[in-house]
Amino acid sequence: MSDPGPFRVLVIDDEPAVGRTLCLHLRLHGYECQACHDPAEALGLLEDGGEEPFHLVITDIVMPGLDGLSLIRRCRDEGNPVQFVVITAYHQLDRVVEAYRLGVLDYLVKPFEGLDQVTDLVRRAETRYRRWRELLAQALETGP
C-alpha cells in the first residue's frame, strides 16, 4: 500500500471563526486542515472524495440547513469510512447518544477547555487510521 501522506482534517462549523481557529491550531501541529462553514458544501467535499480524501471530520452538530448528525448519516449511507468527532455548544444527551450510534470517535462541548483537547482527539484518530491501514495491508499480503 502506498503512503497515505499527511493526515487530512475537515472542520465543519457554521461559525467561521471556530473553523479557522481549529485549522490554524491543527496546521501548527503538522496536520492538513480545511475549514468549511456551510455543511452542504462540506458534504459535497466528502462525497467527491477527490484524490486526497479527508481522514477525519470535526463537525458541529447544530447548524442551519443540514445538521451534523444528518451529515454523518449521509456519509455512512454512502459508505464513506471517514472518522468523525462532533462538537456542540448544546449538551443534549439524546444527540450525543445518536452521534455514538453513528460511530463517532468522540465529542467536545464548546467552549473548549483548551485546543490541546482537540489535538489529542486528532492524534487518536490518526493512530486509529494508520493502524487500520497496517491491518489492511497485512490482510492483502496474506490473502483470504
* 113-135: pLDDT as tens digits: 889 999 999 999 999 999 988 88
Phi, psi for residue 89 in degrees, rounded to 5: -90, -10
The Cα 8–Cα 53 span in angstroms is 7
Question: Which residue is associated with the grid cell 489529542?
Answer: 120
- pTM value is 0.91
The Cα 58–Cα 7 span in angstroms is 13
Sequential pLDDT tens for the chain (144 residues): 556 679 999 999 999 999 999 999 999 999 999 999 999 999 999 987 666 889 999 999 999 999 999 999 999 999 888 999 999 887 778 888 899 999 999 999 888 888 999 999 999 999 999 998 888 888 888 876
Instruction: Please report, for residues 26, 28, 120, the alpha-carbon distance to residue 105 in angstroms, rounded to integers and kept in the order given.
Output: 17, 22, 12
Q: Which fold has domain 8-142?
A: Rossmann fold (3.40.50)
Q: Taking a C-beta distance cutoff of 8 angstroms, is the pair 86, 60 a contact? A: yes
